[in-house]
Amino acid sequence: MNRKFIATAVATVLFAGISSLCAYTADGQSKSFKLGQWTEIESSILKELNRSYVDSLPLDRIMRAGINAMLENLDPYTIYIPEEENEDLQMMLSKTYGGIGAIILKDKDANVVINEPYADSPAIKNGLRCGDEIILIDGKPTKGLTAQESSDRMKGKPGTTVNFKVLKGLTGDTVDVAIVRERIHIPDVEYVGMLDDTTGYISQSGFTDKVSEAVRAGYFELKEKGMKRLVLDLRGNGGGLMNEAIGIVSLFVPKGSTVVTSKGSTPESYREYRTTSEPVDTLIPLAIMVDSGSASSSEIVAGAIQDLDRGTIIGKRTFGKGLVQTVRPVVYNGQLKVTTAKYYTPSGRCVQAIDYSHRNEDGSVGQIPDSLTHEFRTAKGRIVRDGGGITPDVEIDAPSYSRLVYSLILNGIIDRYVINYAKRHETIAPADQFHLSDADFEDFTAFAKEQEFDYRSSAETLFDQMKKELDEDGLSERMSDEIAALEKAIKIDKEQFIRLKKDEIVPFLEEEIAVRYYCQGAGIQVRLRYDEQLEKALKAWK
């Protein structure tokens, strides 16, 4: 019997009855009694395994597997964070860490490569740019390190110094660089700008500490530029702190307005959250852009704005996460991020999906028939429904991309090309003027066709699956001529396919190149000129 099976079996024995801890059993036993019984069984099994198991017992691995198995039986968001991962928790909650402020690329048996330095970071202040290779970190060669080990060595307490030996991408010179680490904060407000003479635009990627202040500052910046209406883009925003969501809603609705209500399993968990500050503007036309990646706090904002009839929600239905998590300390300096309540919009809707199983491939809520949902009314009497996520007032499909484009991105082909581009071009035009030339695209095509990645079309992957099923059914031989003809018709070589999808690929290349020279905001500037969903939203928004 192998160790993996042993660990799984122990986890199953220890935690199979976890649901009984949440209520009194039929025979009147309290959950306290069941808890005591359960922990006694756990201790007994582990002691017996430790005494008699044939090999050395991997206790740390077994216990972590058991804890994870227990929590996975509750919901996807209740997780255990041991002491050694507390820094990752802080990064998740605040998007801050101590370091030099750069995204790195690390291939096996290669140096660390600076991929994307953050704006105003110590990396940029000390002359590091995309394409520079870090040969040594505090005297330790990076070729023998993993990506995680390299990242860990670069991070550290703000105010401390880390020493690099760097091979400069542009010149080929090798230089020594000493950088004093700083507290790096990755901003949630990625871009603030005007889409036209009257339409202001704020792109927000998260809900960490003080993001509502950043949105407030963005509002006043845009008002000075003549803004008459505002788009708050929450597409792909997975959420974060509830109080920041309340802070953003409070900018646009009267003081004292209900934003969200939380309800848990105890009377004490019921709480109504209202705006406590004076708004900056209760009249400006407001549009909230959402999609299936808009979750949690994004749904609090969208749900409140919709229920209070304060603005227009545009895009696709949101993710459907209506659960509140609270971080609780546990023994040995660990943390438990535990679901403590569900939240409800001002009309009384819970945006949590009815169950966790009927989900789309991206995890967002699947199709829920109206018969399983309930009607609610907005402040002005419009009908809205629960059942999972926030359904936009104006639904507009997001653009779809070919399998090739996803493969180029996920396999790092575009990233690697952009790094090579940065090594050969010291500067580019300003982001709002930069365009990839035909010669540059030919250069990319030549680069990409030499890379190893799955470039099959969606049709070809379906064809390959069909061939397997025909083999299993014993039909391949009798249909060999038809199969050969179809295969010839849908096969396309890598270079041809890349050229065919030029219009899809160029916007991604332009965005990523702009980011390497002018940081994240510049990439969004480029993205906006290709954003068909936003363009349609502006036309439909009344």
Query: Three-class SS string for 144-212?
Result: CCCHHHHHHHHCCCCCCEEEEEEECCCCCCEEEEEEECEEEECCCEEEEEECCCCEEEEEECCECCCHH
Backbone angles phi, psi at 293, to 5 degrees: -90, -5
Q: Is residue 466 part of a domain?
A: no
User: 497 and 389 share a domain?
Assistant: no
d(CA 488, CA 55): 55
Q: Does one domain contain both 216 and 147?
A: no
**Do 358 and 416 fall into the same domain?**
no
**Do residue 260 and residue 335 come from a single domain?**
yes
31 is a domain residue: yes
On whether both 258 and 115 belong to a single domain, the answer is: no
Residue 157 is among the residues annotated as catalytic for this protein: no
Look at residue 471 and tell me if it is in a domain: no
184 to 13, 238, 254: CA distances (angstroms)? 44, 21, 35
Question: Is residue 449 domain-resident?
Answer: yes
pLDDT per residue rounded down to tens, the chain (542 residues): 344 333 333 333 333 333 333 334 444 456 677 788 888 888 898 888 888 888 888 888 888 888 888 898 888 889 898 887 777 766 776 788 999 999 999 988 899 999 999 999 999 999 999 999 999 999 999 998 999 999 999 999 999 999 999 999 999 999 999 999 999 999 999 999 999 999 999 999 999 999 999 999 999 999 999 999 999 999 999 999 999 999 999 999 999 999 999 998 778 778 999 999 999 999 999 999 999 999 999 999 999 999 999 999 999 999 999 888 888 898 888 889 898 889 999 999 998 876 655 567 666 766 776 767 889 999 999 999 988 899 999 999 998 999 999 999 999 999 999 999 999 999 999 999 999 999 999 999 999 999 999 999 999 999 899 989 998 989 888 899 888 999 888 889 999 999 999 999 999 999 999 999 999 999 999 999 999 999 999 999 97
HEC string of 425-440? Answer: CCCCCCCCCCCCCHHH
| 171 phi and psi angles, rounded to 5 deg | -105, -20
Q: What's the Cα-to-Cα distance from 233 to each of 230, 249, 294, 419, rounded to whole Å? A: 10, 14, 10, 29
Q: Is 196 in the same domain as 173?
A: no
pLDDT of residue 409: 96
Q: Considering the domain boundaries, does residue 241 fall inside one?
A: yes
Answer yes or no: is 480 within a domain: no
Active-site annotation holder among 307, 393, 415, 531: 307
355 and 423: one domain? no
Q: How many domains does the chain have?
A: 4
Taken as a whole, the chain contains a residue count of: 542
Residues 171 and 198 in one domain: no
CATH number of the domain encompassing residue 125? 2.30.42.10
Is residue 295 within 8 Å of 205, Cβ to Cβ? no
Residue that terminates a domain, selected from 144, 166, 185:
185
Last residue of a domain, one of 185, 208, 228: 185
Alpha-carbon distance 367 to 387, whole Å? 9
For residue 174, which phi and psi values (nearest 5 degrees)? -105, 125
State the residue range of the domain holding 506.
Answer: 403-457+492-540
What pLDDT does residue 355 have? Answer: 60
346 and 251 both lie in a single domain: yes
Annotated active-site residue in 250, 262, 296, 364: 296
Q: Which residue has the tokens 């009497």?
A: 381
Residue 426: inside a domain:
yes
**Cβ atoms 45, 62 nearer than 8 A:** no
Beta strand 182-185 with 96-99 is antiparallel
Tell whether 350 is covered by a domain. yes
Pairing assessment for the beta strands 286-290 and 229-233 based on DSSP bridges: parallel
138 lies in the same domain as 256: no
Task: Provide the token pair at 464.
Answer: 């390959």
Catalytic residue selected from 34, 106, 321, 337? 321
| Amino acid in position 206 | G
Q: Can you tell me the distance from the alpha carbon of 77 to that of 339, in angstroms, rounded to the nearest whole number?
A: 7
Q: On the CB side of 328, how many CA atoms lie within 13 Å of its CA?
A: 11
> CB–CB of 422/117 below 8 Å?
no
Q: Are residues 101 and 215 in the same domain?
A: no
Annotated active-site residue 321? The verdict is yes
Angstrom distance (rounded) from CA 372 to CA 355: 12
Helix (H, G, I), strand (E, B) or coil at 523: helix
* Domain edge (last residue) among 185, 220, 244: 185
CATH number at residue 308: 3.90.226.10
**Pair (153, 125) in one structural domain:** yes
CA–CA dist 106, 137 (Å, integer): 14
| Amino acid making up residue 100 | I
Instruction: Please check whether residue 239 is in contact with residue 207, taking contact to mean a CB–CB distance below 8 angstroms.
Output: yes
**Dist. CA 135–CA 112, nearest whole Å:** 7
Q: Is 307 a catalytic residue?
A: yes
